[in-house]
Structure 1
Amino acid sequence: MKKYIFAFLFLMVNLVSYGQTKSTIKDFDANFAHTVYFWLQNPDSQEDRTAFETSLQKFMDHSAYAKTKYIGISPKPSRDVVDGSFTYALIVTFESAEAQQKYQDEAAHKLFIEESSHLWTKVIVYDSTGI
């Protein structure tokens, strides 16, 4: 029972700490959306999760180009079409493809990769522009 209580509290802290809130959300910019899925090597390691979340949140706090900044975790899939295999999701929006390229080149992004790339086994990125 203690294990379930700890898991629930951990989930709630993460949702409150890293999800969007009315005070932190910015307008979604449909010009360019950048969606990234991460699979951690050791998703059950609290130490790895804390290191990843800390580094990712620091990156989002210091990105000069990202507008919407959403960090999420995979919920338990409720339907066959839902892929719940990832550990973390990041959704950021930009005013343009050029702003997204500047984001790729900024020091905060490079530091995040340096600090965290050893923690993941797979990353998939989906970029899209509004219609």
Structure 2
Amino acid sequence: MRKNKHFILVVEDDPLLADITAFRLELLGFEVHTVENSEAALAQVEEKQVDLVIVDLELAGMKGLDLIHQLQVHEKSFQTPVLVFSTDPSLDVVQKAFKAGAKDYLVTPYDPAVLEHKIELLLSPQAVS
């Protein structure tokens, strides 16, 4: 169990992937909330301090890249790191995610150990810009 329980918001419209990810993160001691779309994610950011947002790029409605941009300009989340989930490993898509403001990128399906490592790096004090 972690001393300082970080709150992670998972924005994923695939219920199975959202549940699996949330379960894994809860086992690691994180507080996790899942939402299915960008609009719900922005509402959650209004309600609670979020330490990390995990965003699926292929969301219905407002796409993941648009959500990342919105998070970067929102007064409550502009410093919150964003980790992208995507099935697309192409360099063009990865570059677009980083340009939008993502701090890291993970191709799904993912290795749980890689996810844990990326989250630890993103939440470390040195990761704060």
Q: Same fold (TM over 0.5)?
A: no
Structure with greater proportional strand content: 1
Instruction: Indicate the TM-score class for this superposition, using the shorter chain for normalisation.
Output: under 0.3
In the superposition, the TM-score normalised over structure 1's length comes to 0.26
In the superposition, the TM-score normalised over structure 2's length comes to 0.26
Say which structure, 1 or 2, has more relative contact order (CA 8 Å, 6+ apart). Answer: 1
